[in-house]
Amino acid sequence: MKLHTVTSLGEFDKVLKSELVIVDFFAEWCGPCKVISPFVETLQSDYNQVLFAKVDVDQGKDIAAKYTVSSMPTFVYFHKGKEVNRVVGADRAGITTGLDQLVSLNPAAVKSLPGAGGADSEDAGSTVNSADNSAIAAFVPKNMEILNSGIDFTSTEALNIANNGDVRNVLTNGLSGDQEFVSDTDSQMLLNVQLQNNAKIQTILLKKPAVSGDNQIPSHIKVWANHPNLSFDDTQSIEAQHVGDVVFDGEWAEIKLRYVRFQNVSTISMLIEGEDEDECTNLDRVVLIGSSGEARSGKLEKMQD
């Protein structure tokens, strides 16, 4: 079913009266917008508790300006009239993850997430991720949001990871099946995460794997802001803005940062290690919580076809 296109601020305000809303900001001249549109339309049946809408940025310039949309497509997520997340680009995984996170803010709606039918569901991985999202929502303070859907994966990297472990999995839905994310040769792994929008970061959540096998779970973390492409050598010479222990309460460890040290963050780097420096460290998921600012580029740009 085609998404309804909103053309005025007044109509947009009425749309936001729904509890859960996703808005696709697009342009007729945008190739990626045309490619992703059919996929987004198919999501309506899976997320029927969410109101889907579209805004043509050329026809609704006042709406695009109000929400500082500068690239297309941009998908903005609203909970009770307030923006809680956005995904820039035709990123199928990011859009779906954003919807999972949005629905998790309404506990009554979590049961209708794709794959939420229990252990016998055909999509057991989605069941696990939906449960994760419900747990994550409990860590998100009022006026804060989950920032992972705003990660720029083209400039994000993970160093010292065995077997080509994919950092995208750890920063989106977590691991599933036989996937693993384990440090190589020693206990340290270094994640350099680039954000699409500058952000204030308050909390980092780490999830330990359901089964660690012969590997250890994280026990220490150091965090730097705005040091793109930080190397292991750099971690020895550049002082971290946060140094602390990783303490798990069940599956999750909550690392609270000193908010004043993590303002206007475009890149966040995390050195994560286990207790024994000679053993490999295993990790399942990383979640960033804070508040997203304006895009680093305020200029309206066409995305390449």
Q: If pLDDT is split at 50, 70 and 90, which confidence band does 139 have?
A: confident
- Phi, psi dihedral angles at 228 (to 5 degrees): -55, 140
In which band, very low, low, confident or very high, does the pLDDT at 303 lie, cut at 50, 70 and 90? very low
**Helices and strands (H, E) in the chain, number of each type:** 7, 14
Residue showing tokens 């997203």: 292
Residue keyed to tokens 């109000």: 66
Q: Tens of pLDDT along 24-68? A: 999 999 999 999 999 999 888 778 788 999 999 999 999 999 999
Mean of per-residue pLDDT scores for the chain: 84
Q: Residue 52's pLDDT is what?
A: 92
Q: How many CA atoms lie within 13 A of 62 on its CB side?
A: 8
User: DSSP string of 83-101?
Assistant: EEEEEESS-HHHHHHHHHH
Q: Which of 29-33, 127-131, 273-277 has the least mean pLDDT? A: 127-131
Determine the Cα–Cα distance for residues 293 and 303; give it in Å rounded to an integer. Answer: 21
Q: What is the pTM of this model?
A: 0.58
pLDDT of residue 107: 53
Asked if 280 is an active-site residue, the reply is no
Out of 134-138, 189-193, 276-280, least confident range: 134-138
Question: From the candidates 33, 189, 206, 255, which is the catalytic residue?
Answer: 33
pLDDT beyond 60 at 78? yes
Phi, psi of 213 (to 5 degrees): 60, -130
DSSP assignments along 153-192, one per residue: GGG-EEESBGGG--HHHHHTT---TT---BBSSSS-EEEE
* pLDDT tens readout for residues 207-254: 998 766 678 999 999 999 999 999 999 999 999 999 999 999 989 999
Distance CA 209, CA 224 (A): 24
Query: Rounded to whole angstroms, how far apart are CA atoms 55 and 74?
Result: 10
- What per-residue confidence (pLDDT) applies to 212? 63
Residue 110 three-state SS:
helix
Domains of the chain, CATH where assigned: 4-105 (3.40.30.10), 130-292 (2.60.120.470)
What band does 110 get if pLDDT is binned at 50, 70 and 90?
A: very low
What span, in angstroms and rounded, lies between the C-alpha atoms of 73 and 221? 35
Q: What is the distance between the alpha carbons of residues 152 and 107, in angstroms, rounded to a whole number? A: 29
pLDDT exceeding 70 applies to what percent of the chain? Answer: 84
What pLDDT was estimated at residue 269?
97
**Looking at the predicted structure, is the pLDDT value of residue 301 above 90?**
no
Euclidean distance between CA atoms 167 and 93, whole angstroms: 13
Per-residue pLDDT reduced to its tens digit, 148-196: 888 888 889 999 999 877 888 899 877 776 778 999 989 999 999 999 8
DSSP single-letter state for residue 138: T
pLDDT category at 109 given cuts 50, 70, 90 is very low
Select which of 20, 30, 175, 270 is catalytic.
Answer: 30
* Cα 137-127-23 angle, rounded to 5 deg: 55
Q: Alpha carbon 122 to chain centroid distance?
A: 25
Unique residue bearing structure tokens 């050195």: 271
Cα atoms found within 13 Å of the Cα of residue 206, Cβ hemisphere only: 24
124 or 286: which carries more pLDDT confidence? 286
Residue 202: the pLDDT is: 94
Question: Does 70 score more than 50 pLDDT?
Answer: yes
- Give 242-251 pLDDT, tens digit per residue: 999 999 998 9
